[in-house]
Amino acid sequence: MTAPAIEDLLRELTPQVLGALVRRHGQFEGCEDAVQEAVLAATVQWPDGGVPDNPRGWLMTVASRRLIDQMRSDQARRERESATATEVAPEDVPDTDDTLILLFLCCHPTLTAASQTALTLRAVGGLTTAEIARAFLVPEATMAARISRAKQRIKAAGSSFSLPDGAEREERLQVVLHVLYLIFNEGYTASSGSELHRADLAHEAIRLARMVHAQLPEDGEVTGLLALMLLTHARREARTTAAGDLVPLDEQDRAKWDRGLIDEGIELVKASLAVPALGPYQLQAAIAATHADAVTARETNWPQVHALYLILERIAPNPVVTLNRAIALAETEGPVAGLALLSTLDSDERMAGHHRLLSVRAHLLEKTGDAPGAYEHYRRAAKATASIAEQRYLESRASRVRPRATSHEGAGQRT
């Protein structure tokens, strides 16, 4: 088996082994460390020594031994009576799928988003601390401390290893979906740095969303989130030039869009819209599907995009949604209508000086023919963004509408 295939296998087995171990011994905290050590041992041993016949059983045995060693040394340190834990026989893992319970635990509401994403990637995604640290561009020690702190908090919160019921389950699921969405976004547009695609994280988020979807196929929002990820990921090749410059949606070469992902995404959107209750992910996926349906940017069904944003704005009011609706409105009723809608956001503190508000306004001003206004707003947006790729894009838009040099300045230039 190749190293990437081993990696895939380990990532798939991690939550299964962890779930089974926690069911047997309790203490999520210690079990999670033990599974991580077993995964690391497998990464070292399997490529050369070969994958064992029963990889799940192997991981379970190694993790159990680590856990028991840990429990014993803890006991010794506390000078208590020795070993109550017994060695477990190398047996296979039961078939219960604990992925959801683990996700609920890792996305515990008392944790910060940064901790939730890190713990989810390790405990459910099966990534090593070093891999997660690399993905988020921090030292491994930083990531290790963050994960360990997160587990202490979960322990302190006294969570049980079971699925929450009713309304709490619904709320907690929202947190899980948000965390998966954040992981995807981190992979899609790095929040800092010059690297626009961190494909691994986007890929991981899709894989985790697929796992949740397999568990909850009837949940419209889970389906919607998976569809949204697939439809967005489908555009990745078209989103940047070879030089790494951003290409806006209307200028993308749609032949580079991944048809397979789009077809799968559209099917999921259709399925999710058949379920009565509509949620934000379903609507965003429906918007992405509308864009994916257009063979050229010109053929985009903007009235439909606008109508979808309008519903989204009603069920989940948010200035960024209004901002996006303004773009759609400008396409259906003209840039002046879009600018009028944007002006309703000026008093919103969350959007004050936000680069997205500045850049959309710049774009719409450009469409009305107000080059100086567009230039000023593109420049301000370029200063406000924390993304180098976006800054480069905004600077290039600014130079396209830069007011012409005065005759004095231009006098020395050759034509």
Partner 1 sequence: MKFLISLHINPAVLDALTDEEKAGIGDGHGTFLAALKKSGELISTQALVDPSQAAVVSVRNGQPVVTDGPFLESKEYLGGFYLIDCENKERAIELATQIPDSAIEGLGVEVRQVMFADGQLDT
For residue 138, state whether it binds partner 1 (rule: CB under 8 A): yes
Tokens in use for 180? 């998966």
> According to CB under 8 A, which residues from 375 to 394 bind partner 1?
386-388, 391
Tokens in use for 139? 């030292």
> According to CB under 8 A, which residues from 181 to 200 bind partner 1?
191-194
Q: Is the distance from CB of 93 to CB of 83 less than 8 angstroms?
A: no
The one-letter code for the residue type at 355 is H
Closest to partner 1 by CB, 115 or 232 = 115
DSSP state of 52: -
From 3, 113, 163, 405, residue interacting with partner 1 (rule: CB under 8 A): 113
The piece of 107-115, 212-220, 373-381, 407-415 that touches partner 1 (CB under 8 A) is: 107-115
For residue 395, state whether it binds partner 1 (rule: CB under 8 A): no
Closest to partner 1 by CB, 141 or 214 = 141
Give the helix/strand (H/E) hosting 327: helix 319-333
Q: Tell me the Cα Rg of the chain.
A: 25
For residue 153, state whether it binds partner 1 (rule: CB under 8 A): no
Under rule CB under 8 A, how many of the chain's residues touch partner 1? 27
Tokens in use for 216? 């909850």
Backbone angles phi, psi at 90, to 5 degrees: -65, 90
Report the DSSP beta bridge partners of residue 240.
Answer: 246
Q: Is the distance from CB of 3 to CB of 47 less than 8 angstroms?
A: yes
Q: Is the distance from CB of 136 to CB of 181 less than 8 angstroms?
A: no
First to last CA, the chain: 64
CA-to-CA distance for 55 and 321, rounded, in angstroms? Answer: 46
Closest to partner 1 by CB, 270 or 350 = 350
The nearest distance, CB 115 to partner 1, in angstroms, is 8
For residue 148, state whether it binds partner 1 (rule: CB under 8 A): yes
From 145, 214, 295, 336, residue interacting with partner 1 (rule: CB under 8 A): 145
For residue 146, state whether it binds partner 1 (rule: CB under 8 A): yes
For residue 110, state whether it binds partner 1 (rule: CB under 8 A): no
> According to CB under 8 A, which residues from 210 to 249 bind partner 1?
none
The one-letter code for the residue type at 395 is E
The nearest distance, CB 68 to partner 1, in angstroms, is 27
The nearest distance, CB 28 to partner 1, in angstroms, is 18
From 133, 225, 339, 381, residue interacting with partner 1 (rule: CB under 8 A): 133
From 6, 51, 88, 144, residue interacting with partner 1 (rule: CB under 8 A): 144
CA-to-CA distance for 76 and 55, rounded, in angstroms? Answer: 31
CA 58 to mean position of chain CA atoms = 31
From 21, 132, 147, 229, residue interacting with partner 1 (rule: CB under 8 A): 147
DSSP state of 164: P
For residue 40, state whether it binds partner 1 (rule: CB under 8 A): no
Q: Is the distance from CB of 290 to CB of 301 less than 8 angstroms?
A: yes
Closest to partner 1 by CB, 143 or 292 = 143
Comparing CA positions, the residue from 218, 209, 211, 210 lying closest to residue 274 is 218
The nearest distance, CB 387 to partner 1, in angstroms, is 8
Binding stretches for partner 1 (CB under 8 A): 112-115, 133, 136-149, 191-194, 386-388, 391
